[in-house]
Amino acid sequence: MSIKRIDAGNRMSMANIYNGVVYLAGQTAHDTSEDIEGQTKQVLVQVDAMLAKAGTEKSKLLTAQVFISDMALFNRMNKVWDAWVVPGSAPGRTTVEAKISTPQKLVEITCTAAL
């Protein structure tokens, strides 16, 4: 089987498709002036767009990894996540506190989905 790469660059691809599974790169907010809710909404819009580009959508999510800059933001991030995720189709998910690429970025999300 071949690997299909979406928006491939020298450092990374934004998504890869292999054997019926889509693997997204971590998505972060472009407008870091927003709070955790605003940044999470931005990231989830990007996840939706990348999944669509790959030919799938959020009801087919298999796993998600959420990195937040401070676990004190967990409940506020979850408020946005819970409104976005498809009821009955929630993926397996891990959430950890982590330093993200810049201090202004509060959340990064990566996921896998079935085609």
Instruction: From first to last of the 115 residues of the chain, give the pLDDT tens digit.
Output: 899 999 999 999 999 999 999 999 999 999 999 999 999 999 999 999 999 999 999 999 999 999 999 999 999 999 999 999 999 999 999 999 999 999 999 999 999 999 9
pLDDT for 13:
98
Q: What Cα–Cα distance (Å) separates residue 60 from each residue in 2, 16, 46, 66?
A: 21, 15, 16, 17
Count CB atoms within 10 A of the CB of residue 18: 12
Please, are residues 113 and 62 in contact by the beta-carbon 8 Å criterion?
yes
Domain boundaries defined on the chain: 4-114
Domain 4-114 homologous superfamily, CATH: RutC-like (3.30.1330.40)
pLDDT for 12:
97
Rounded Cα–Cα distance for residues 35 and 28 (Å):
13
Tokens of 2: 């071949």
Q: What are phi and psi of 11, to 5 degrees?
A: -90, -40
pLDDT for 1:
81
